[in-house]
Each structure stands twice: as structure tokens, then as C-alpha cells.
Amino acid sequence: MSTAGKALAEFIAEGTEILESLSRDLLLLDQQRGTEPDPEVINGIFRAAHSLKGLAALFGQERIAKLAHQTEDLLDRLRLGKLSLDDQVLDGLIESLDVLQSLLSEASREEATDSLGERVTTLGQRLADLGTVASASDEDPLDRLDLPAQVRAVFTEYEEHRLRENVRRGVALYRVRAAFDLSDFDTGLTELNARLKPLGEVVSTLPSSEPGGLSGIAFDLIFGAKVSSEELTQKLEGTPAQLFSIGIRPATPSPRPSESESEPEAVAPTLAAASVPARKTAKRKPRAPKAPTPEVVAEEVVATPTAKTTVLRALESEPAAETTEAHVPVRTLVQDPPTSRSGRGEGESARSLTQTVRVDISRLDALMNTVGELLLIKANLQRMVESVRQDPGTSLSKAWGQELSRETRQLERKLDALQEGLLEARMVPVGQVFDRLARLVRRIAREVGKEIDFIIGGGDVELDKLIVEELSDPLMHIIRNAIDHGAESPEARLAVGKPRRARISLHAEQKGNHVVIEVSDDGAGIDELGVRELALRKGLITEAQAREMSRRELLNLIFLPGFSTARSVSELSGRGVGLDVVKNNIGNLSGIIDVWSERGQGTAFHLTLPVTLAIIRALVVGVSGRTYAVPLNSVLEILSVKPAEIRTVERREVLDVRGSTLPLMRLARVFGHPEHHPDRYFVVVAGLAQERLGIAVDELQGQQDIVVKSLGGRLQGVRGISGAADLANRRTVLVLDVGALLEEGMSTERRRA
Amino acid sequence: MTSKILIVEDSRASRELIAATVESIPGLEAIPSSSGLEALKLLPQHDFALIITDINMPDINGLELIRFVKSNPALRDTPLFIITTEGRETDRDRGLALGAVEYLVKPFSPRSLEELVRRYLQLA
């Protein structure tokens, strides 16, 4: 890759990370709508926009830099309390995230479309016009705080704002002082922060060179507590922290310049600003200093309690009233955010950057292939060991044979661990996609005037990165259908006695080595008779077939190419892309899609997907002298069946298995091989989701770990085949696509009817 | 004999770009750090000829880092550059008041950073 290409890739990678964290935090804000927003979440979003702006500008991505800057500007007003968070602001932020994502995706393709450029301009203007000005007060609460001037000089504008907010609300403020050893102060500080966070807000962390020296370092944490001093003291027991209360004088209105929108420059005047040396390069407005200026640089931090601070342990009286407002609203997310937030938290986030390595998935693929080859070598070794042990003519000693066998088993265990480790490295939480979809739901619901509660669950379930990437479009399509065709308008819902707001739920759950993702709604449901009529009209099925079809089969017609129930082509669905494409996409991931619907009750789509596509355990079977591999994760059991036990019901071959009827498919017939008529068939019972199918084969050759490789060329579109794999004896075999065969099992018979 | 430059910036891509620019100057070695806290750990381990720090960072902000450096006799003479963004003049002014000698406003070109570093370290 060229240097420029590398730089772009680096920019795209970090930009993507930033937008992901932005998206998570916006989702949190969205869920906390109507409550007091958590300042830390707002600040996290601001920091993300800020980082993206700097990053984009640095890499010459002007459109991204521009919009990120406008977004940051809005967020800055928000976090500095100059703007209140209302629906318009939140919607603006969400749209800005959407546009930023599109911009990043264009940047990665080195494109820049005019339509997106226009969106940037309009949105930028909208963001600039947004917001209600929060009421300005004419006194600066900071002036009432007993904080030495040199401490105030190191607060950033934002930290000052947070302090002001805490004073305004009557929150008790403390200076938490803790000294640590130089060797592990970061760990100590992180632990202290973790203890403090649930108890209030860490406004600022001030490192001090006292006690300094070579042995230690001390920190002063400026802390706004939302618990009583007793509880704070008790919770900090066992930590090196000392607690000092910061005195707050009662408010006395004093005339001072207000901090309104019209005067963004008029922040609390500081000592620092007053003592700025004149510089040619800097253009800045002079500010009137409020206090006499001491030395610019303080020799030491406020390390020792001054006359104004009170050591709590001396049991002085309570400093200030408790806050009455809920400080951190309850999170309504079902699952924790899948990954730690970058650029947030104390210490932890900074460290996580250094402990994470981004690896191109193709490198992991290459490693996976090597593991696959090692597995073949291991299988060959095992075969050799076995033949040596069974050959009486061999001159090798028995002890040697046993040792070789032991070593091979060791190798097998290590290879298993290696394989598992590699698979884990490819896993990402499916929540990454869910978060993106949540924003989409809000936007679409607004556009079509429906009121929807979108419920997400199981976002921490992990899947192979490649599968998660491919899930985005199919899920989006299904959710769009749910909003467009499933959820009724609020009026229509009330008319049938349903709650006004429709519920759409997106839920993932791990079941063994599969993940089931369910998209369900409590809307109108699918009218299977309407589906039947439409399928007949479009010539997708014949009258005779329609008569024989069960309700479930009728519902499944919606997956046929050319089927669309959309009466009108809206922007959401019916854009020439039907559920058949969704079904194919899921099929390409070796998954299966299933639909359940009850008129008036709602609809649910179930997507059953393998956890990984990289290495699978397979059952090797033979049919008409050819060998195939069947993924073991979809094999339920194997039966041995006499030809006489195969019955034909309504022109379909079936077996009776423990009282229930199992559809049967002869693999030789499916692939057009000459059929043998053995005395016994082996029937591999395969199942995915609710579907069951018996696949008749001539012989079973054993089990093996295989690396499935995709097929190119003429074989790519062959239905029922998902790829190829090398076996231990260096033979290449085709791997069955069980999902597709299950489909085939249902429709073949129909076609023959 | 190489001179070490400490770069404190929480954006990875920016950090790498600044480091690459610094290292394009012969005789300079960039020591990157992704947070104020990490910078505090690195400070006693090397003798830095220059510190370039961002101001808004998640754990310890750049202003606090400057104050820490300036109040520590062993580090006091190390020159500091601050990186700010447009619209954060108050923060920038405080940084300069605390003892930073130069500032760069994002976005800056690698060339302007290189010139500033060369001029300050009196490199040809």
C-alpha cells in the first residue's frame, strides 16, 4: 500500500472508531430523553466530534472536518450549559452522525458526491440555528468557591463549567487527595476513579509534584459528591485518599458580565488570561482580570489543607446541601455497551488504546488457512500412528508407538487452542450493527409518522466479524419492513385497542454454535391469504400448489423473487429489492431465515446464523462414489434406514422418526449423480431453526475440521453448495449448504407437484 | 545523539502524524503518549528536549500537564508546545500563561510544525 493509501486507511479506521463511540453515546442520550442528560455522556460525544474534526482537518478531509466542526460547536454550547438538550438538538445530532458516516464511507472510496455535499451545507446551517439559550445568571458561582487562584488557572473551560453547575445545584465539592508510588500510580488512580465515579462527578484531576521526588506522585481530584460525606468517607476506606471539603460561600448577587450566547468570550475571567505575555502570533481579546495576579506558575499544588478547607475526618459540620436532582439517569439498555468507550473514563480508556491491536481481517483469514493446513497434517499424523499401531509387521517398538500417539494428542490439543484463539480474535459484538439500526429506526419512524418503541437486546452476543458486517443490510431491510408494513399508525392501533406506540424488537441470542437474531413487531401481521392471492396473480405458484400449502408455506412465499406486497413503492421498502435478496444474503452466510406471523398480533423474523464461517467441524459423507462435507453444527442425528422404510406422502418422500414425519432428500438426486440402491441408506438429519430434513447418503467417512473456502467461477452459484475444503488425504471436496438444502427440500416437491 | 520529543495526543492518527513529522527532522526521536496520565509515567524515564501536548484529553488535561511540568524542578526547563483547535482561545491562553512557549492550531500542516520545532530547537 502507498503511503497516501496507508494514511487514508489509518484515518478511516480511527474515524470509524470515533463514530462508533459517538453512536453508542447518542443512543444512550436518546434512551435518556426527557431526563437530565449525564454530563459525562455529553462530554464524551463532544470529545468524539472534537477528535474527528481535528483528525479530518489533519488529513485534508474538508467536508468531514466542516460538519464535525459544526457538530462540535453545537455540543460545546450544550456541554457549557449555553443550550438545553431538546428533541430538535438530539435529532440534529443523530442526523449529523448519519451524514458523517456517509461522508466517511465516501472518503474511503475516495468519492465526494454533490448530493452529500448539499446535505452537509443544509445540516450545518440547521445545527447553527438550533437550540434554546439556557438562562444566564449574572453571578459566577466559581467566585464563591474557596479554590486557590493557581488551581483555577489550570481548569479548562469545560471543567470550569462543570464546577459551576455543581455549585449551582448545591452539590458538595471535595478535594480528594491521594499519593501513589511512581511505579503504579496509573493503576492506583484508575482504581480510585472507579470508586469515586458511582458516588459523583470527578471534575478535574490535578497531578502534583508533591510529595514528588523519586518515590511518589500525588493527585488532587476535584470531586462533586452526590452522596453524604459519611458515605463518601466510608466508600473511600482502604484507599490512600484523603478528603477535604471545598468551602462554598453563599450566593450574593454581584454585578458582572453575563455569560450569554451573545458573549461567548465572556467566560469566567481568570488569572491566567490576565497574565498572558504579549505575543505576535496570538489574536485574542483582552479580558479584565478580576483578581490580582500572582506568579504565573505555582510552585506547588494545593497539597496541604488551607485554612479554608476542612478535614472531614475531624468531623466538621456538613458543608453543603445534598443534590436533589438525579445525577445519572438509569440506563435502559438491556446489555452493557459491548466495548469500553474510547476517549472516555479515567485512565482506562487511555490504556485501552495501547492494548488493542487492529488487524486486517484478511490477515486473520490467512492465519486461519494455515491452521486449516496444520489440522490436515495433524489428521495425517494420526492416520500414520493408527496404521503403525495396527500393523503387526512394523519393526517399531510399542513404546515408541505409544509415545508418538501421546505427542499427536498433545498437538491436537494445542491446535484446538490455537484455532479457538483465532476464532475469538475474529469475534465482534453484534451490537455494533444494532446501534446503527437504532438510529435508522428513529429517522424512518419520524418520516412515516409512526410512534415506535425500539427495543434492543443481546447486543453483546459475538459473531465472526465478516458475518456481522454482512448482517447490516438484511436487518435494515427487515426492520424497514416492520416499520413500513408491520407497525400501524397510532390512530389505527388505538382503534383496535392496542397501545398507541408500536414495539419493534431486535434481539440476539446464542444457541450452541449458532446465533439467533429475532426482529419482531406487534403490528398488523402478514395476511397469508393476501400473500397467496398475490403469488397466484404473479404466477409464482399454481392453484393446485396453493391448495396444498400450509399457512407456514404460504407465509414463506414472501421470500420468492419477484414477490412484493408493497402497494406503493415508498422510499423505505419496495425499491426493487425484495426479501428474496435478504434470504440470499443470509443464505450466503450459511444461515437461514424463518418468518412467523399472526394477523393482528405481529410478525417475527428469525435469522439463524453460524457463529463463524472460518473453521467448522464437518461430517464427511459419500454418495455415488463422490465425497461431500456436511457442517456438523447443523447435523442433529444420523439414522440407518432400509429402503422399505421410506414412504411417499403427497408425492414427497418421508421417514417416520419417533412418531413424527421427516421430509427426506436423496443427495444423489439433488446433484444428478447416478443413484445406487444400497441395502441401507444413512440418513443425516439436518436442522436449522425450525426446519428438519433427512439427507440420504451411501456412506459415512468420519468427522474432520475443515476450513471452508468460497467457490469461484462456475461453481459459485450452485445451490446447495457453500464452498470447498481440503481433506486430510489432500482431496478437495464440496461442502453442503444445509440451509439451502432445507429450502430446496420444501420447494422441490412443490415444483414437482 | 538524538533528542527526544514527547508527544501527548489522544487521537492516534494525529499522534502518528505529529510523530512522523518530528522524526522527519534528523536527530529527533518522537516518544508518543496517548494520555496525560501516560505522559506523567514517561516524564521521569527520559530527558525530553521538547513536549508537544494536546489540551483536551480524557484523563489529565494538557493544562494540568503543563502546570505539573513547570512546578517540577527537574522538568521546569523543558519547553512545551500546545495543540489547540479553533474556538478554544481561553484554553490556549491559559496554556500559554502556564508556561507553554508555542501553540499550534489544528489543522496545521506538517511543514509548519516542522518549522516551529526546528526554530525552537535551533536546528538548521
Confidence of residue A696 (pLDDT cuts 50, 70, 90): very high
Whether A156 and B107 lie within 8 Å, measured CB to CB: no
- A396: which 3 cell numbers? 517399531
Q: Average pLDDT, stretch A381-397? A: 75
- As a whole number, the mean pLDDT across chain A is 75
pLDDT in tens, A479-533: 988 998 889 988 999 999 999 889 999 999 988 778 999 999 999 999 888 889 9
Confidence of residue A572 (pLDDT cuts 50, 70, 90): very low
Q: How far is A219 from chain B (nearest CA, A)?
A: 10
Cα–Cα distance for residue pair A661/A649, rounded to 1 Å: 10
pLDDT at A315: 26
pLDDT at A344: 35
H runs (alpha helix) in A589-684? 667-670
pLDDT at B86: 67
Whether B61 and A156 lie within 8 Å, measured CB to CB: yes
Specify the amino acid at residue A63. Answer: R
Greater confidence (A512 vs A664) lies with: A664
Handedness of CA A539, A544, A548, A551 (dihedral sign): positive
Q: Determine if the peptide bond prior to A250 is cis (ω within 30°).
A: no
- Using CB atoms, pick whichever of A58, A154, A344 lies closest to residue B64: A154
- A445: which 3 cell numbers? 419512524
Percent of chain A with pLDDT over 90: 10
| B109 has a chain A CB within 8 A of its CB | no
Specify the amino acid at residue A547. Answer: R
A582, pLDDT greater than 60: yes
A1, pLDDT greater than 70: no
A354, pLDDT greater than 60: no
| Beta bridge mates, B102 | B81
Give CA angle at B93 (B92, B95), nearest 5°: 65
Q: Average pLDDT, stretch A8-14? A: 83
B interface mutation test: which of A73, A80, A82, A154 has the most B CBs within 10 A? Answer: A154
A683, pLDDT greater than 90: yes
Spatial strand order of the sheet with A699-707 comes to A699-707, A615-623, A626-631, A732-736, A721-726
| B94 has a chain A CB within 8 A of its CB | yes
Cα–Cα distance for residue pair A194/A345, rounded to 1 Å: 9
Q: How far is A255 from chain B (nearest CA, A)?
A: 22
Q: Chain A: residue nearest B15 by CA?
A: A55
Confidence of residue A714 (pLDDT cuts 50, 70, 90): low
- Using CB atoms, pick whichever of B35, B44, B96 lies closest to residue A276: B96
Contact between B95 and B54 under an 8 Å Cβ cutoff? The reply is no
Whether A47 and B13 lie within 8 Å, measured CB to CB: no
B interface mutation test: which of A3, A19, A51 has the most B CBs within 10 A? Answer: A51
Q: How far is A56 from chain B (nearest CA, A)?
A: 8
How many Cα atoms sit within 13 Å of A519 on the Cβ side? 23
| B61 has a chain A CB within 8 A of its CB | yes
Stretch (H or E) spanning A597: strand A592-598
How many Cα atoms sit within 13 Å of A752 on the Cβ side? 9
| Beta bridge mates, A649 | A652
- Tell me the chain B residues in contact with residue A350 when contact means C-beta distances shorter than 8 Å: 10, 34-38, 57-59
Q: Chain A: residue nearest B90 by CA?
A: A157
Q: Average pLDDT, stretch A692-712? A: 83
Percent of chain B with pLDDT over 70: 98
pLDDT at A183: 74
Stretch (H or E) spanning A14: helix A3-31
Greater confidence (A685 vs A376) lies with: A685
- Using CB atoms, pick whichever of A156, A265, A296 lies closest to residue B99: A296
Backbone angles phi, psi at A703, to 5 degrees: -115, 150
| Beta bridge mates, A127 | none
Confidence of residue A664 (pLDDT cuts 50, 70, 90): very high
Within A226-333, strands assigned E span 241-245, 310-311
| B85 has a chain A CB within 8 A of its CB | yes
Q: Average pLDDT, stretch A683-692? A: 81
Q: Average pLDDT, stretch A438-465? A: 83
Cα–Cα distance for residue pair A662/A286, rounded to 1 Å: 86
At which residue does the C-alpha cell 443427495 appear? Answer: A667
Q: Chain A: residue nearest B55 by CA?
A: A156
pLDDT in tens, A103-116: 998 988 888 888 88
- Tell me the chain B residues in contact with residue A154 when contact means C-beta distances shorter than 8 Å: 61, 63-64, 66-67, 94, 98
- Cα-atom radius of gyration of chain B, to the nearest Å? 13
| B12 has a chain A CB within 8 A of its CB | yes
Q: Chain A: residue nearest B99 by CA?
A: A297
Cα–Cα distance for residue pair A103/A109, rounded to 1 Å: 10
Handedness of CA A272, A273, A278, A279 (dihedral sign): positive
Whether A55 and B13 lie within 8 Å, measured CB to CB: yes
Within A129-214, strands assigned E span 172-181, 200-208
Q: Average pLDDT, stretch A53-65? A: 86
Confidence of residue B4 (pLDDT cuts 50, 70, 90): very high
Greater confidence (A558 vs A751) lies with: A558
pLDDT in tens, A122-145: 898 888 887 555 555 556 777 778
Whether A284 and B63 lie within 8 Å, measured CB to CB: no
| B51 has a chain A CB within 8 A of its CB | no
Cα–Cα distance for residue pair A74/A474, rounded to 1 Å: 34
Confidence of residue A617 (pLDDT cuts 50, 70, 90): confident
Q: How far is B1 from chain A (nearest CA, A)?
A: 26
Residues 6+ apart with CB under 8 A from A50: A68, A72, B56, B85
| B2 has a chain A CB within 8 A of its CB | no
Cα–Cα distance for residue pair B73/A418, rounded to 1 Å: 51
Chains A, B: CB contacts under 8 A, how many? 164
pLDDT at A743: 77
Cα–Cα distance for residue pair A255/A271, rounded to 1 Å: 19
pLDDT at B65: 92
Whether A296 and B41 lie within 8 Å, measured CB to CB: no
Cα–Cα distance for residue pair A553/A693, rounded to 1 Å: 15
Q: Chain B: residue nearest A275 by CA?
A: B97
Q: Average pLDDT, stretch B82-103? A: 84
- B96: which 3 cell numbers? 500559554
Q: How far is A260 from chain B (nearest CA, A)?
A: 16
